[in-house]
Structure 1
Amino acid sequence: MGNIILFALLVGLASALILIPFSKAEDQGRKMTSALLIAAIVLFTIGSFAFYYLFNLDRNLSSLWPLAILITLGGTIFAAGKERMIKGSLFVLTLLLGVYFLLAFLFNAEEKYESAKMTEKMEISTFDEKETPASVPPHFARNKMKKAFGQVPNTSYYELGNLQIQKVNGEYVYIAPVEFSGLFKWVNGKSTPGYFTISATDSSANPKFKKSDMIYTPSSFFNKNIERHIRMQYPESIFYGGTQLEIDDEGKPYYIRTFGEFISARNGFKVKGVVVVDPKSGDTKRYALADVPEFIDGAVSPEAVSLQNSYYGNYIHGFWNSLFGKKDVKLPSDEGTEAQVSPIFDENGEMYYFTDFTSPKEGVDSMLGYSLTNSRTGKATFYTGNLKESYMDSEGTMQIIEKKFIEKKWHGEMPILYNFYGEASWLTSVLDSNGFLQNYFIVSAANPEISAYGNTPNEALRKYKTALQHGGGTLDGSSKAEEKQTSGEVLRVYKEKTGDFTIVSILLDNKKNYIISSETNPLAIYVKEGDQVKITYMDTGETFLPVKELVIQGLE
């Protein structure tokens, strides 16, 4: 609190000295008295304190430029003679400074692009079939948490806070803090009781409430408000994006906020690190990105990543090109789940923010590429995709889902592009009008006519694999799975008609399950229990292993 009072006092003193005329004027009523000076200092000090406290603005001199223009203008008006010339010169300088700050975006677009420049590659690596993607949509997870809110003590005091995803003890979970529902509830409650967690991979999982008292929160007031508390500790720091809750592997919660620096002239933003706050004690620590604690997944805020994506997509040839010529301009989509980006995890458990880019031309749903930004380091990679193919963007995917389930009025949420079996594919959660999860939909980005859906991501993947086998996709062993061969006796057979073809599931005497489509092997429809068979399959590690070739002895 002391630093903001001192800052406000200095602002008040400087403002009074500039505004109050010192030169003798013909009108003696304008002569400054010591009482008037003191009153002006007090007035401007109180006003400056209120402004910076209420708006939580950084306390750098550069943040004073609007006030400086007003004060120097007033000082010029009230002064006379040489004093007016001096204060008039100050007014012109502050006015020019204000114009520079206001128009900086016209001239620093190239700097913004350079700060956001990404490494370019063609395709992301193939998805590991043994993994389960974090595919539970946040809207569905939030609905479940709300229904479990009765676990919270003094429920009427609180409401559910912002949802975010994190990896905790090797599991992907959504986290949402319990927040105060208003000023009077904060006065009575003093602290929030904890937070909710729920699996981000298992849609059948139920939310769990974790008790952990938190005093410094986004919904607290005055000096207990987490953002104001951080500002008090770091008055000159530049922050971008809101606070987020992260928990360590022991379940202890921390609030974090991304800080950085302006690109130039209080315009633009470049990430430098993160501030971490213990919400119970208020202890704060500041880390550079290279030193962020291991348990923190989202050191770079999604808002900062969204801003960097905008720089990279819009400013490749400067500001004016982004408005008029639009040469090579690509627009980041707004289909993300957090600030227009979607958090996902790779096979090593590292979190990235996913964004697809589309054409600025209206009515075009062709994707121009997609980016993955490391949420801890801020390093980004832009994937062009196979330049010989035309990929559908996330908006096109959502439209396909709406048309597919038009009678049921279902809609898609959280479209993410994966490399499934060597095919660029969109995985999207499908929700009904009440926000309940109905299924998972997968569609080829290059061949939208190839799609499948299932009750779980793995079921949808199995059906999609079959769709690729007879739909002209690229399922040719290009996944990470190793091609193997086996033989044995058929113990069980299950056949299911899918469109014009039959899906055959086989259990061999080696106690392993195999699956094949009659599209790729028409004779598979004749297999029966007791047959001796030779199988060439992909060892994906799944329950049902995809078969590339089936030979039934006696039918060669």
Structure 2
Amino acid sequence: MLEVYYWYLLVPCLAMVVLGLTTKKWERSIWSFIGPALLAAFNTYFLLPSKNLLSIIGGNFFYTLIFGIIYWIIYTVSDDSYNDSDDHKAIIFLCSVVPVVLCFLIWIGGALHSSMSVRPTYDSISKEYSKSTEAPTFKRGETPIALSPVTVLNRVRKSASDIPHSQYYSVSKNVQAQYYKGKPVYVIPIEYNGFFEMRNAKTIPGYFIIDATKQNATPKFVKQPYKYATSAYFNRDASRQIYRKANSWLSLGAPQLEINDNGKPYWVQTVYKSEFLSHRVNFEKLHVAVLDAQTGDVKIYSLKGMPKFIDEGITTETADLINRDFGKYKHGFWNAHFGKTDVIKPTGNGVEDGVTSIFNRDGSISYFTDFTTDKTGSDSAMGYSMINARTGKLTYYKASNLMDSDGAIHNANQDYKAQQWKANMPVLYNINGNPTWVMTILDSTHAIRGYYYLNASDQSIYAQGTTPISALDDYRQALVNNGGVNSNTAKASFKRVTGVVDRVAIVSSKNKAMFTLKGSNTIYTVNTNDYDFANLIRPGDQLSFKASVINGKSIGNISSLENKTLKN
């Protein structure tokens, strides 16, 4: 940290020395230097300024300007009896004004170049493009539906009495998704209530952990005392400790807490090295700073070389930045602000920093974000991205005529106006070949009331249920009823069915007939526009047909329907 402090004061320090040597007025130079030196010390320790070279030059401009102003005010403006020589004024000009102007020109030039030369930033994003039909498929009983983080926080806060000396602590708002011993969990840090509470408590006693996918999961307090935390002060602040130990690295967002398979806590922060005289981020060269929360040791890893227990080496703030640069800078700076060809923006409906953490079936975590057009008032999704939380690779699924997450939330909320429940954490999945918004329904206390599935192309197709599975089954049946089924969907299988009709219902308003066969509780659905004689089906008829059946429910329109009784 001292190294950064010295670099920020390089130019004003040189100005002080030169003025002292040439004018022989050392007292004047030293007293003028004290002001910017104290300000720089405060700023470096408490605000942790960027270690980027361009930022350091900007800091030198600012502190040299203050030094020159103080020098001039104290010994020329405020002292009426003081009559400086022309030579002395020239020296002051050369030692104060010239360095200030040079630093300013370099700083403003680099800042403008960083802001306007953004195409290299876009190019550095690891990305691939895909179709929405190739998006992750929702599989019954296999795709984890995570608890909403606001629900998790509500449950954890009710368990706050489990914390020893709980008066010193509060529950953090940061909910960290990760796999612990192969199972998806949320880790919730504990924070100090303030400076004096930290002095009394000495350490944080542990953290909470909760199963991320069980609807009725309860949080468990884990006793793993640790010293360094984002809520701590002075040298025990996690961000400051990483800043001190990783002098040459720049951070992208705040550290996140993760635990290894033994439950030991670590703070994880995405870091990078900037380009020469530029603020630009090169996403190809991201690294991870890992702080041992108990000992304070800091190690830097490449994304490929970081420990296996870290699931989100790319933190949520970094993922949000990747999404924003990806959507904005495909055709450079001028197009991003004027032409806006192909400019899209993330909706920001994620639970944290504009992204939603998704637990994948393969044991990895991805960040989900949907994109909409840059036009005001639009509710159509242009596509959505999945960012691998370990590698940073962005996969963009292009879509057309799809509702965005804002529209999905609004539609779901309309069905719960009376109860005043709200849809939360919308995620887009591919269900039976249909892009579908999957949402959790919460009441005013953030308790889970159910799940809502909404077709992203047709808002008239939706389903709700008290569990993800029941809502999924009802949604698949809704697809059948509306003819929105893809027979190539996983878990679906067409098979020849024969049997005698047990019960039948003709729904003329929807042009369909529904029936069951003797000895089976599966409800089959046939479109009467395809088979007009289906209107004549009666109990006791002998039928033969092909149908796609999933988990005991008809999810595909019947094909090759034959009524043997009617033929006779």
Q: TM-score, normalised by structure 2?
A: 0.84
Pick aligned residue for 2:162 from 137, 140, 151: 151
Residue of structure 1 in register with 2:329 after alignment: 315
Matches of 2:330 and 2:519, distance apart in 1: 57
Deviates more, 1:11-20 or 1:135-144: 11-20
Matched, 1:50 2:10: no
1:325 aligned onto 2:345: no
Q: 1:131 to 1:95 in 2, by over 3 A?
A: same
Task: Specify the alignment match of 2:395 in structure 1.
Answer: 381
- Report the counterpart of residue 442 of structure 2 in structure 1: 431
- Structure-2 change in CA distance of 1:359 and 1:9 (3 Å): closer
1:357 aligns with 2:371: yes
Write the distance in 1 (CA, Å) between the matches of 2:136 and 2:539: 36
Q: Give the letter aligned to residue 213 of structure 2.
A: T
Deviation of 1:537 after TM superposition, in Å, equals 5.8
- How many angstroms apart in 1 are the aligned matches of 2:6 and 2:377? 56
Contact residue 18 and residue 71 of structure 1 kept, 8 A: no
The answer for the alignment partner of 1:416 in structure 2 is 427
Counterpart for residue 191 of structure 1: 203
Compute the displacement of 1:535 (Å): 8.1
- Deviation of 1:176 after TM superposition, in Å, equals 0.4
Residue aligning to 2:489: 479
AA matched with 2:15: I
Tell me which amino acid in the other structure corresponds to 2:475. Answer: Y
Q: 2:143 aligns with which of 104, 126, 132?
A: 132
SS in 2 for 1:395: helix
- Structure 1 partner of 2:79: none
Contact 1:359 1:366 in 2 (8 A): yes
* Letter of the structure 1 residue corresponding to residue 425 of structure 2: M
The one-letter code of the counterpart of 2:394 is A
One-letter identity of the residue aligned with 1:191: T
- Residue 364 of structure 1 deviates from its aligned partner by 1.8
Q: What is the count of residue pairs matched by the alignment? A: 537
Q: Which moved further from structure 2: 191-200 or 475-484?
A: 475-484
State the match for 2:58 in structure 1: 66
- Give the drift of 1:105: 4.4
User: What secondary structure is seen at the aligned counterpart in 2 of 1:195?
Assistant: strand
Query: Is the counterpart of residue 96 in structure 1 residue 88 in structure 2?
Result: no
Alpha-carbon distance between aligned partners in 1 of 2:524 and 2:13, rounded to the nearest angstrom: 84
Match of 1:28 in 2: none
Question: Displacement of 1:50 after TM fit?
Answer: 2.5
Asked whether 1:32 is paired with 2:25, we answer yes
Structure-2 change in CA distance of 1:117 and 1:59 (3 Å): closer
The equivalent position to 1:395 in structure 2, one of 400, 403, 406, is 406
Task: State whether residues 298 and 351 of structure 1, in contact with CA within 8 Å, keep that contact through their aligned partners in structure 2.
Answer: yes
Moved more, 424-433 or 259-268: 259-268
Alignment deviations for residues 515-550 of structure 1 (CA, whole Å, 9 cap, x no partner): 54466896999779xx9997856575x576857659
Could you tell me which residue of structure 2 aligns to residue 232 of structure 1?
244
User: Is the 2:438–2:454 Cα contact (8 Å) retained in structure 1?
Assistant: yes
Question: Is the 8 Å Cα contact of residues 109 and 319 (structure 1) preserved in structure 2?
Answer: yes
1:175–1:555: structure 2 CA closer, same or farther, 3 Å change rule?
Answer: farther
Measure, in 2, the Cα distance between the counterparts of 1:169 and 1:543.
Answer: 34
Looking at structure 1, the residues matched to 14 and 517 of structure 2 have their Cα atoms a distance apart, in angstroms, of 89
How much does 1:431 deviate? 1.4
Report how far residue 114 of structure 1 moved. 1.7
Q: Does the Cα contact within 8 Å between 2:114 and 2:278 map onto a contact in 1?
A: no
One-letter code aligned to 2:374: P
Does the 8 Å contact 1:430/1:437 carry over to 2? yes
Query: Are 2:111 and 1:111 equivalent residues in the alignment?
Result: no
1:305 shift after superposition: 1.4
1:58 deviation in Å?
A: 3.9
Structure-1 separation of matches of 2:176 and 2:344 = 27
Worse overlay, 14-23 or 373-382: 14-23
**Which of 230, 241, 263 is equivalent to 1:251?**
263
TM-score where L is the length of structure 1: 0.86
Which residue of structure 1 aligns with residue 224 of structure 2? 212
Give, in whole Å, the separation in 2 of the partners of 1:279 and 1:66: 33
Residues 274, 286 of structure 1: 8 Å contact kept: yes
The separation in 2 between residues aligned to 1:55 and 1:372, in whole angstroms, is 33
Higher deviation after alignment, 40-49 or 515-524: 515-524
SS of the aligned residue for 2:253 comes to coil
Contact 1:116 / 1:309 at 8 angstroms: preserved in 2? no
Q: Deviations over 1:241-286 (max 9, x none)?
A: 1111112233222211110133664424344111112211222221
Cα distance in 2 between the residues matched to 1:263 and 1:448:
47
Residue type at the aligned position of 1:469: V
12 and 504 in structure 1: CA distance in 2 versus 1, 3 angstrom threshold: same
Deviation at 1:127, TM superposition (A): 2.4
Indicate the percent of aligned positions where both proteins have the same amino acid. Answer: 30
Instruction: Rate the CA distance shift 1:519–1:281 in 2: closer, same or farther, 3 A.
Output: farther
Q: Match of 2:122, as an amino acid?
A: Y
1:351-407 alpha-carbon deviations (Å, 9 max, x no partner): 11111111111222111111111110011111113xxx5111111101101222222
| Residue in structure 1 matched with residue 479 of structure 2 by the alignment | 468
Q: Using the TM superposition, give the Cα deviation of residue 321 of structure 1 relative to its aligned residue in structure 2, in angstroms.
A: 2.1
> What does residue 80 of structure 1 align with?
89
**One-letter amino acid of the structure 1 residue matched with residue 102 of structure 2:** L
Q: Distance in 2 between matches of 1:198 and 1:461?
A: 24
Q: Secondary structure at the match of 1:18?
A: helix
Equivalent residue in structure 2 for 1:166, among 157, 166, 178: 178
Decide whether aligned partners of structure 1 residues 438 and 339 sit closer, same or farther in structure 2, where only a CA change above 3 A counts: same
Q: Is the 8 A contact 2:224 2:265 kept in 1?
A: yes
- List runs of 5+ in structure 1 lacking aligned partners: 26-30
Deviations 1:430-482 (A, max 9, x none): 11223222111111111111101111111110000000001131x23221125
CA distance in 1, matches of 2:553, 2:166: 46
Give the counterpart letter for 2:413 in structure 1.
Answer: E
Check the 8 A contact 1:469/1:519 in 2, yes or no: no
Secondary structure, aligned partner of 1:384: strand
SS at 1:434 equivalent: coil
Aligned-residue offset at 1:172: 1.6
Paired residue secondary structure (2:423): strand
Backbone CA RMSD of aligned residues = 3.5
User: Counterpart of 2:299?
Assistant: 285
Query: Unmatched 5+ residue regions in structure 2?
Result: 73-87
Instruction: String of CA shifts for 1:86-116, please: whole Å, max 9, x gaps.
Output: 6543232111012124423442222222223
Contact preservation (8 Å) 2:144, 2:361: no
Q: Give 3-state SS (helix, strand or coil) of 2:339's partner.
A: coil
| Distance (Å, rounded) in 1 between the aligned partners of 2:536 and 2:395 | 43
Match of 2:262, SS state, is: coil
Counterpart secondary structure, 2:140: coil
Give the distance between the partners of 1:524 and 1:184, measured in 2 at CA.
81
Shift of 1:502: 8.6
